[in-house]
Structures are given as structure tokens and as C-alpha cells.
Amino acid sequence: MAIQFTRNGRKAMLWAQVEAMRRGDLYVEPEHLLLGLLHGEDTGALRLLDKMNLAGYQVRDCAQATLGPESAGTRVETSQLSPSAKKAVEQARRETEATGDDYVGTEHLMLAILRGISDGIEPRPGLREKLNALGLVYERAAIAIQGVTPELPSLSDEPSPVMTAAPVLRPRPSFLKGRDFLSVSDLANDEIRALFELTREFKMGRTPDAGRGKTLALLFEKPSLRTRVTMTVAMNRLGGNVVYLGPEEVGMGKREAVADMARCLSRWVDAVAIRTFADSIIREFADASSAPVINSLTDREHPCQALADYYTILESRSETAGMKLVFVGDGNNVAHSLMLLAPRMGTHFTLACPKGYEPDPNILSEARELAKLYGTNFDISHDPLVAADDADILYTDTWTSMGQEAEAAKRRADFAGFQVNDELLREAKEDVLVLHCLPAHRGEEITDSVADSPYSGIFDQAENRLHIQQALLAAIL
């Protein structure tokens, strides 16, 4: 009986074809196969790289360097396996027989590509030298594969999108040691990707003790469910402790000067997560604090939420580049963080809001400049049906944020027609992903039929707040 590919193996082949198609290459070469193998989370190929103390981004950099830069507008409709890629697939079956496994996994395909490259199958010069410099050679991989748990077969033949590995720093706890995180703009692009890679490791079950013997203070002037619980659980999983200070204990700038609180707390704790109103408060606190400060929500931004959102998009869609994200609702703190992050992730961003509910002018200006810099689209529309056309992601949030309760009735009237419902979904792509940062006012900004639909990634977002914040704390402490 013919040896068949695991589901991850089939997905890797699919993504190799996608990599070739979007570059305008008519044939899938070994470099494209390597890129395809870097899609996924807990795959045999990634476990093999881990055994060799290598990260996916290092291999991706080598393959991309030999393929050259992508050219806009060159995408082709289909790509076929080249003769050298076909040889790699045939060799993967032989590698499977050699390891005694019944199915071809991504680890076997990785080994086969390395074998072919070592034997001189290299359509573009330089790949062998680049991989050799990393120590990624067939002989070492053949030894390392013996300690890799083989992938299990799957009865499903349907490929599904998974998270892609992108060029990132080698993620290690403390790589952002002592840094404040007040805005998505505080992180460089490679630091964001490294944080996502660390998040992936934590979600897979890695539990380093980066917080052992350390204490996180939660300084919250606004009520919270997701932020308080996920920050607490994240710090506990890192081996640390949490001190919660609610509105009655805080009163920053009222009960006590902000700078005085910062100077005291930073002598007692190792990091402070703040959830408050004015952005100026958290910045004043951070200026006076010797301990790193994390923005857990201000009226200006909600950066932890935006990171969790993009990690969720990566898990669901594998790519952020070229995606169209449509935010339907108020130009609020969540929208601010998303519109500042979107262009850096290669995402086109559209805000659909009623007139008079546009974002902060300074953030709006910054978002437009970033979109221009990264070659993405940024639009504001007052017609949600037009905005939702061809959307990959539909995102919404409550119409009335904390502190705006007196405006609730007026906002409900003004936002009528800006509901994410079945009608709006029909304007988006067939596989649209629906997101909401919660809490949701069902029947207002979103309907039950959408929130509970197969398109919804809302509770994946909520879960990923835990994983992204665990990674962020580990990186900062």
C-alpha cells in the first residue's frame, strides 16, 4: 500500500503552492516547499528544527533570500511541482521507510529537501551555503529526527489554514526585559513577530518560570473580567504572584499623586499593569516608575487586545498581509490600536462608523502615514454595507464604552444600522472571520446569529488574551 501524507504534510504542500503562486512562480521549487513547512504550529518539521536549536524564521530567511523579493501584481493562478520538488516528495517517502513510520510527515519532507539540497538539487544558487551556515544539514537532521515524535495520520483530506512562521527574533523570555508597553507602537515589527512566536510556544504548553519570585501589580480604575483574569492566570503560570488594586484603592491623581504611587509600587513589585481612563495618567506613571508598565486599557489604546486579535487572525488565516479588516463601530481605543497595528502587519483597514464618531485626529494621521509607508489601504466609511464588501475580518465593539454611559441612548440611535448581522456578513467574503473584544451587547452591535456562528472567532480572541499576555509578561520580566 502506498505511503500517504499526514494532514500537516498535505497542508505544507498546499502552502508551498500558495507561496509560489503569490510570487508569480509557475513551479513549486524546494525553496517553496521549505516555506510551506514553516506554516503550522506543532508540526514534525518545527519540532525537528527545535531539536536542532533553530527557529522557523531562520530557515524562512534563507529560502526567501534565494527566491528574491516578492513583486506586486505577479501572482499566478496555479503552480506545479518542479522536477526537483517532485524528487523531494519521492525522497520523503523513502525517508519515512528509513525511520519506520507509516505516514509521510512534515519532518520527513524537511529531511528529504535537505537530502536533495546536499545532493546538489538547488535551482537557485546560495541556499545550500545559507543552510550550512545555520548547521541545518541532512546529516545532523537525520540524527535529530530520531528524537522527534512522528506526526499522526488524519482521516481528513481537507487542508485548513494555519498560522505561518514569519521572520522573527529568536523568542526567549526577557527579550523585552524592563520595557514599558503602553502602545502597539512601542514594539518593532520583529519584536511583534517574536512575541507571537513565544505566544505559540506557551499555547502549546511551554511553561517557563520567568515570573518565579516576582510580583505583578494590577492597578485597575476600570472594571474588568478578561483582563484581570487573564493577567492573573498568566502571571501564576509563570510562577509569579499578583496584587490587585481596584478603584477603591487607586484613585490615581485624586487620593494620591500619580508619580508618588509609581515610585512606591516600583519599589515593591516587578511590573505594573494599569487599566485607567486618560492616557496621560499611564504615561505619567511610567515616567516615574522604575518597574515596567503595561497598558491594560486606556481611553486612547488597548494594545494587549490588538495583539491577541492579530494572533487570532494568524491562527485562523495564516496570513495578515493582504487581508482586509473592517472595524464596524466607534473609533475607540480598540480601533485605535488596530489601525496602528494593521499596516505593520500588511493589513488593509477600514473603519465604518457614523459621522462624528471618527478616531482621534492624531491617531488618524499616524495611521494614514503608516498605511502609506507599508503600502496598505486605510479608509473611513459611513456606510457599513459598502465597507464590508470583500472583508476578510469583520470586527465590532460595544457602542458605549466605560465612562460613556450617559450617552448610551444617543449612541444607540446614532449607531442604528451599524450592527454586525447576517445582512452585513453577506457583503463580506464567504470565509469571513468575525471578531469582538467583549463584553458584547447582543442585539445591539452584534446579533446572536453572528456571535454564535461558525464565522465567529470571538472566544478564540478571549482565550488568546491569556496566551499573548503570558508571553508579554515573560518577555518584559
- Domain for residue 186, yes or no? no
Same domain, 272 and 319: no
Residue 418 confidence (pLDDT): 98
pLDDT > 90 in the chain, percent: 54
Same domain, 311 and 453: yes
Residue 71 confidence (pLDDT): 55
- Domain for residue 286, yes or no? yes
**Does residue 118 have a pLDDT over 80?**
no
- Domain for residue 338, yes or no? yes
Residue 161 confidence (pLDDT): 33
Task: Using CA atoms of 190, 192, 194, 198 in order, give the dihedral in degrees to the nearest 10.
Answer: 180
More confident call, 11 vs 168 = 11
List pLDDT tens digits, range 150-190. Answer: 776 543 333 333 333 333 345 678 889 999 999 999 998 88
* 465 is an active site residue: yes
List pLDDT tens digits, range 234-258. Answer: 999 999 999 999 988 877 878 889 9
Query: Is the N-terminal amide bond of 439 cis, ω within 30° of 0?
Result: yes
**Does residue 290 have a pLDDT over 60?**
yes
Strands 433-436 and 293-295: unpaired
Same domain, 284 and 330: no
**Does residue 85 have a pLDDT over 50?**
yes
Residue 144 confidence (pLDDT): 86
* 255 is an active site residue: no
Residue 329 confidence (pLDDT): 97
- Place 334 in a pLDDT band, splitting at 50, 70 and 90: very high
The domain total for the chain is 3
Catalytic residue chosen out of the listed positions 437, 461, 467, 469: 437
Domain end: 264, 299, 334, which one?
299
Same domain, 338 and 264: no
Catalytic residue chosen out of the listed positions 237, 302, 317, 467: 302
Residue 381 confidence (pLDDT): 98
* 437 is an active site residue: yes
**Does residue 94 have a pLDDT over 60?**
yes
The C-alpha atoms of residue 146 and residue 169 are separated, in whole angstroms, by 27
The C-alpha atoms of residue 342 and residue 251 are separated, in whole angstroms, by 34
Residue 72: exposure state from Cβ atoms within 10 A (0-12, 13-18, ≥19): exposed
- Domain for residue 435, yes or no? yes
- Domain for residue 365, yes or no? yes
Among 129-143, 162-176, 194-208, 449-463, name the one with the lowest average pLDDT. 162-176
**Does residue 219 have a pLDDT over 90?**
yes
Same domain, 288 and 309: no
Catalytic residue chosen out of the listed positions 115, 193, 226, 275: 275
Residue 106: exposure state from Cβ atoms within 10 A (0-12, 13-18, ≥19): buried
- Domain for residue 274, yes or no? yes
Which helix (H) or strand (E) segment holds residue 28: the answer is strand 27-28
Question: Which three cell numbers mark 76?
Answer: 499566478
Same domain, 48 and 115: yes
**Does residue 276 have a pLDDT over 70?**
yes
Same domain, 294 and 427: no
- Domain for residue 470, yes or no? no
Q: What is the 3-state secondary structure (H, E, C) of 378-445?
A: EEEECCHHHHCCCCCEEEECCCCCCCCHHHHHHHHHHCCCCCECHHHHCCCCCCCEEEECCCCCECCC
- Asked whether 211 and 326 are in contact (CB, 8 A), the reply is no
Q: Which residues, other chains included, contact 471 with Cβ-Cβ below 8 Å and sequence gap of 6+?
A: 171, 195, 196, 198, 199, 201, 202
Residue 171 confidence (pLDDT): 60
Closest CA to 323 of 448, 184, 161, 158: 161
Tell me the average pLDDT across 253-266: 91
Same domain, 106 and 12: yes
Same domain, 55 and 126: yes
pLDDT > 70 in the chain, percent: 91
Residue 1 confidence (pLDDT): 31
- Asked whether 27 and 79 are in contact (CB, 8 A), the reply is yes
Same domain, 25 and 137: yes
CATH number at residue 21: 1.10.1780.10
**Does residue 336 have a pLDDT over 90?**
yes
Residue 77 confidence (pLDDT): 53
Catalytic residue chosen out of the listed positions 336, 397, 419, 436: 397
Domain end: 271, 299, 327, which one?
299
CATH number at residue 334: 3.40.50.1370
Give the sign of the dihedral formed by CA 26, CA 58, CA 49, CA 56. negative
Residue 29 confidence (pLDDT): 86
Catalytic residue chosen out of the listed positions 17, 91, 305, 469: 305
**Does residue 123 have a pLDDT over 80?**
no
- Asked whether 275 and 296 are in contact (CB, 8 A), the reply is yes
Catalytic residue chosen out of the listed positions 7, 10, 465, 467: 465
Same domain, 143 and 230: no
Q: Which residues, other chains included, contact 330 with Cβ-Cβ below 8 Å and sequence gap of 6+?
A: 353, 357, 397, 399, 401, 411, 415
Which helix (H) or strand (E) segment holds residue 56: the answer is helix 56-67
More confident call, 108 vs 444 = 444
* 353 is an active site residue: no
Residue 475: exposure state from Cβ atoms within 10 A (0-12, 13-18, ≥19): buried
Domain membership of residue 128 as a residue range: 4-147
List pLDDT tens digits, range 36-75. Answer: 888 877 788 888 888 888 888 888 888 888 887 665 445 5
Residue 2 confidence (pLDDT): 40
Same domain, 32 and 92: yes
The C-alpha atoms of residue 30 and residue 85 are separated, in whole angstroms, by 5
Mean of per-residue pLDDT scores for the chain = 88
Residue 26 confidence (pLDDT): 80
Tell me the average pLDDT across 442-450: 98
- Domain for residue 56, yes or no? yes
Domain end: 98, 122, 147, which one?
147
Identify the bridge partners of residue 293 per DSSP, sorted by sequence position: 272
- Place 271 in a pLDDT band, splitting at 50, 70 and 90: very high
Residue 317 confidence (pLDDT): 83
